[in-house]
Structure 1
Amino acid sequence: MLMSVIARSCEPVALPELKGARVLITGLTPAFGFDIARAFADHGAHLVIQSPDDGPEMTELAAVLAENSSEISLFTTALDTNDAATRFVQAAAQDAGSFDMVVNLVTVGAASRLETADDVEDAISDAMFLPLRLTEVAANRMRLVWAEGGILNVVRMADAAGGRAMMLADMLRAELSQLTRGLARQWADQGIRVNAIAPPTSIAVTGGEGQASEADVAATALQLASRKGRSVSGHVLDAAGAARRWC
């Protein structure tokens, strides 16, 4: 759980070390991710944003983020293949001079559309594809310039209620946990930390817990990017309620 690896705090948190920090956020859309980017922008970070949405709303959101961030770059490059993801991260890292924090946002489609076991396996494979590739490439770019940093993979579901959705959430969480531990071990010697936020388990949903809100993800990402998060790696974090805990 989040609070098992990051101490509880109920004071307003100032994170001056994030001023000028180079932060890559992938998968940001008008529907999800803006508050996460804004949290870093409000701390004066240098933002590099990738979005699959090239509409005018994304342009407007980028303009709002530019008001407080030290610098911002918006890319609407599609990351639909290994090669596309690799080329994008390599080019973005070269422009920025590496990254201090990477946040990859992935949303899994409605579980109600999954009718067979093959559909479920394909959904899990698709959900893990980008976090795995983006983490590997971003970590390698950090290593090449001897830069320590953090990577947070956030996997959300379009719907988290219902038996089929809860089953899928449990499977996603298990797969993401295994992936995160493996990547964290792989890059630990380079000072690169890898963590994740997954959909809640079926037990948590049954107990009334929902998915982490965007504000929760933003609060967690800030803490992981700060000095307080520099000993945290290999965890699937329970971020629900983090925005209240880090009030």
Structure 2
Amino acid sequence: MLMSVVAPSCEFVAMPELTGARVLITGLTSASGFDVARAFVDHGARLIIQSPEDSPEMTELAAVLAENCSDLRLFNTPLASDEDAARLVQTAVQDFGGVDVVINFASVESSAVQRLETYEDVETLVADVLSVPLCLTQVAANRMRLVWVEGSILNVVRVADKTGGRAMMLADMLRSALADLTRGLAQDWADQGIRINAIAPPSSVASMGGHGAVSDADLAAVALQLASRKGQSVSGHVLDAEGASRRWC
């Protein structure tokens, strides 16, 4: 199901419940996710950030975040396996005594799209892309359950190359698989008060119509609302984030 959690027009409302929130963000790079991290810093959250990128740009962005964050930790170790993902969540829980919000970024680079030749190639890539977010979600939800945290988990999947037949087929298959995955996980953890949602790449129809472009600012607006009291009844959805930063002001 596609939906928007942001009203068409609204006023900026402070979210004091996010002050001191323990936030784990994975897959953040200098090109994707910075506005999301900054939004939580601006609301007084404590952050653990994992980035696969060890670059001067990433170091500079982390320094910018650290200027206003009371507690920020950065890990540049890539998540190459489920064991790496589980270890990262365990580290976050140990360092912060738990986690309240988890946001996982998974990206498909243009080079990976261009290598696709068959339907089986697409299926394999979809499984690979969703593998680490799935593991992170399961481990994080279990840790939330153990310490009685009714938290929010958001998986964001992006495709760098949005044009061409390969990219559109990949986007549609990612949306379908992510929707099934999100719905099932949300049902599994609903009794524990743990909310699980996702943002997928735009569909082929949206891309052809010139719609579906989602900025980091849009993602930040949605992630904040899902983590706040406003998102307490939202779970199991692939969300429509396009334009959220303009509608929430």
Q: When the two structures are superposed, what TM-score results if normalisation uses the length of structure 2?
A: 0.95
CA contact (8 A) 1:23 1:48 kept: yes
Give the drift of 1:9.
3.6
What amino acid does structure 1 have at the position aligned with 2:135?
A: R
- 1:57-206 matches, within 5 Å, as 57-110=57-110, 111-206=113-208
Distance of 2:9 and 2:137 partners within structure 1: 29
CA distance in 1, matches of 2:32, 2:56: 16
Q: Mind listing any 5+ residue stretches in structure 1 that lack a counterpart?
A: none
CA distance in 2, matches of 1:196, 1:60: 28
Give, in angstroms, the shift of residue 87 of structure 1. 1.2
Matched position secondary structure for 1:63: helix
Cα-Cα RMSD = 1.3
Question: Is this contact kept in 1: 2:36–2:220, CA < 8 A?
Answer: yes
Contact 1:6 1:229 in 2 (8 A): no
Aligned counterparts of 2:105 and 2:197: Cα–Cα separation in 1:
13
Question: 1:10-41 CA deviation, whole Å, 9 max, x = no partner?
Answer: 21232121111111000011111111101111
Per the TM alignment, residue 6 of structure 1 is displaced from its structure 2 partner at its CA by: 4.7
Q: Distance in 2 between matches of 1:149 and 1:156?
A: 23
- The answer as to whether partners of 1:156 and 1:211 remain within 8 angstroms in 2 is no
| Mapped pair 1:211 → 2:213 | yes
Q: Distance in 2 between matches of 1:30 and 1:246?
A: 24
Question: Within 5 A, what are the aligned runs for 1:208-247?
Answer: 208-247=210-249
Higher relative contact order (CA 8 A, sep 6+): 2
* Equivalent pair of 1:43/1:69 in contact (CA under 8 Å): no
Partner Cα distance (2:154, 2:24) in 1:
10
More off after superposition, 91-100 vs 195-204: 91-100
Is the CA contact 1:13–1:246 (under 8 Å) kept in the aligned structure 2?
no
- AA of the residue aligned to 2:230: K
Percent of residue pairs identical? 67
SS in structure 2 of the partner of residue 67 of structure 1: helix
Partner Cα separation in structure 1 for residue 86 and residue 23 of structure 2:
17
Range moving further from structure 2, 28-37 or 106-115: 106-115
Letter in structure 2 aligned against 1:183: L
Cα pair 1:160 1:211 within 8 Å, conserved: no
Once the two structures are TM-superposed, the CA of residue 138 in structure 1 deviates from its matched residue by: 0.5
TM-score, with length taken from structure 1: 0.96
CA drift at 1:112: 2.4
1:41 equivalenced with 2:47 (yes/no): no
Asked if the contact 1:8–1:245 (Cα under 8 Å) also holds between the matched residues in 2, the reply is yes
Instruction: Give the aligned partner of residue 55 of structure 1.
Output: 55
Deviations 1:94-127 (A, max 9, x none): 1111111110001012222211223211210111
SS at match of 2:242: coil
